[in-house]
Amino acid sequence: MTSILTNNAAMAALQTLRGVNDSLKDTQGRVSSGYRVEKAADNAAYWSIATTMRSDNMALSAVSDALGLGAAKVDTAYSAMDSALDVVSDIKAKIVAATEKGVDKTKIQQELDQLQEQLLSIAQSASFSGENWVAGASGTKSVVSSFVRDGSNAVSVKMTDYVLDSGSLGNVLFGMTSTGAIETSSGIIGTAFNGTYGSTVIVMASIYDLDITGFTQGQLDAALTGVELVLGAMTAAGSALGSISTRIQLQETFVSGLHDSIDSGVGRLVDADMEEESSKLSALQTQQQLAIQSLSIANSSAQNILTLFRS
């Protein structure tokens, strides 16, 4: 039965055209944005995972920046300790020279005075971003090393610690007062010797306050022993700083790789397959043209009723 009031064929063709247009709109959106899942309505589970991982990746970027800052602090401290080792080695050489009979110890002490002041200058200058790792009171210095999300979705920031020891033969050149001033009576260079070290009893001023002007041969021998102990402590401190520097470099490489891996994983979840979307787009455009043509045919079928009323 043909009706001039209800055109079922046109309604079916219109419904098909609407469906094709909706699919075409979605496909065009994926092609233009590059995302298969751009909003929660596209796929709530994938969108939620991707949003969380993007947030974690921003945190990892901050960790990478913090690692760079930490590396600069450690490198500054290591350079200072290395320079101080050279200065103390020079002090050792001057003391050895002072053991020669007839040498003017006053002249040698003048050179030692300059070397001692250089040690203080090194300690004062070894500050980066307000932190000094070679001059400071006993305590802990920390560097951000990682951002972690565990299996229960709890998040935390992990730190790499370096414990400062301003005691005798510790790991800082000088101590520091509560007001931030260098304390020249503590630390490896500032602490006086007064006790048994190994099998040797040493009673002498610190390396910073050492004055060999009136030293006897025995006192010079004790001073050499003290300098050797200081060199050993400084070498150990330099080694520890070098180890932390290596650890930070490894962590920087790991964080960079992890950042890229998360980006790649998020892309697999939400990025559009452009080859597939391109094929869909071509097919849907063809379907749209056919649906429009079908609707046109269905609409024109009502015109055929007019032939029934022609004389």
Q: How far apart are the first and last CA of the chain?
A: 22
pLDDT digit of tens for each residue in the chain (311 aa)? 566 666 777 788 788 878 888 877 877 777 877 788 888 888 899 899 999 999 999 999 999 999 999 999 999 999 999 999 999 999 999 999 999 988 999 999 999 999 999 999 999 999 998 899 999 999 999 999 888 888 888 899 999 999 999 988 899 999 998 888 899 999 999 999 988 887 778 889 999 999 999 999 989 999 999 999 999 999 999 999 999 999 999 999 999 999 899 999 998 888 887 777 778 878 878 888 887 887 777 777 666 766 766 65
- Cross-strand partners of 196: 201
What is the residue extent of each domain of the chain?
A: 72-246
Q: What is the CATH number of domain 72-246?
A: 1.20.1330.10
Contacts with 207 (C-beta within 8 Å, 6 or more apart), sequence order: 88, 91, 116, 119, 188, 189, 190, 226, 227, 230
Per-residue confidence (pLDDT) for residue 102, from 0 to 100: 83
* pLDDT of the residue at 84: 97
DSSP letters of 160-215?
A: EEEEE--STTSS-SBEE-TTS-EETTSHHHHPPEEEEETTEEEEE--TTT---TT-
CA atoms of 213 and 167, how far apart (whole Å)? 27
